[in-house]
């Protein structure tokens, strides 16, 4: 199961120390997020040894969501070297998430 970000300090620390990071911005009330969530878990299983893959509950972390500029969900953000490279918004296929991650590795 993919780890949920606990607070902004944890996010900042991971962002500073991880080469490639994927963050699934989600909420418990969001139907499409429930479709994306298992795909992110699958991505974590397949690539967790080469990238840090996390989930962010937007209801619990509104200030971080605002800081990241999340305007609609589901949103999966891809970071490399501490910088946001791409955000995939809406329901996507596993292949789309996998390909974006492959491009960063």
Write the DSSP symbol of residue 2.
Answer: P
pLDDT tens digit string along 1-20?
A: 799 999 999 999 999 999 99
Q: What is the 3-state secondary structure (H, E, C) of 64-95?
A: HHHHHCCCCCCEEEEEECCEEEEEEECCCCHH
Are the C-beta atoms of 97 and 43 separated by less than 8 Å?
yes
Are the C-beta atoms of 21 and 52 separated by less than 8 Å?
yes
Give the pTM: 0.95
Q: Which DSSP string corresponds to 19-66? A: SEEEEEEE-TT-HHHHHHHHHHHHHHHHHTTTSEEEEEETTT-HHHHH
Query: From the CB of residue 25, how many other CB atoms can be counted at a distance below 10 Å?
Result: 26
Residue from 30, 84, 88, 104 carrying the catalytic annotation: 30
Query: Mean per-residue pLDDT for 86-95?
Result: 96
Residue from 21, 22, 25, 33 carrying the catalytic annotation: 33
Whether 25 is catalytic is: no
Q: Please name each of the domains of the chain with its CATH number.
A: 3-104 (3.40.30.10)
Whether the pLDDT of residue 103 is over 80: the answer is yes
């Amino acid at each position: 199961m993919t780890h949920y970000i606990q607070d902004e300090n944890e996010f900042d620390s991971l962002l500073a120390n991880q080469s490639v990071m994927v963050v699934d911005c989600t909420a418990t009330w969001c139907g499409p997020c429930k479709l994306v969530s298992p795909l992110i878990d699958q991505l974590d299983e397949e690539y967790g040894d080469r990238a840090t893959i996390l989930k962010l509950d937007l209801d619990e972390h509104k200030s971080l969501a605002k800081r990241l500029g999340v305007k609609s969900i589901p949103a999966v953000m891809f970071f490399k070297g501490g910088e946001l490279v791409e955000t995939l918004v809406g329901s996507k296929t596993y292949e789309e998430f996998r390909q974006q991650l492959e491009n960063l590795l």
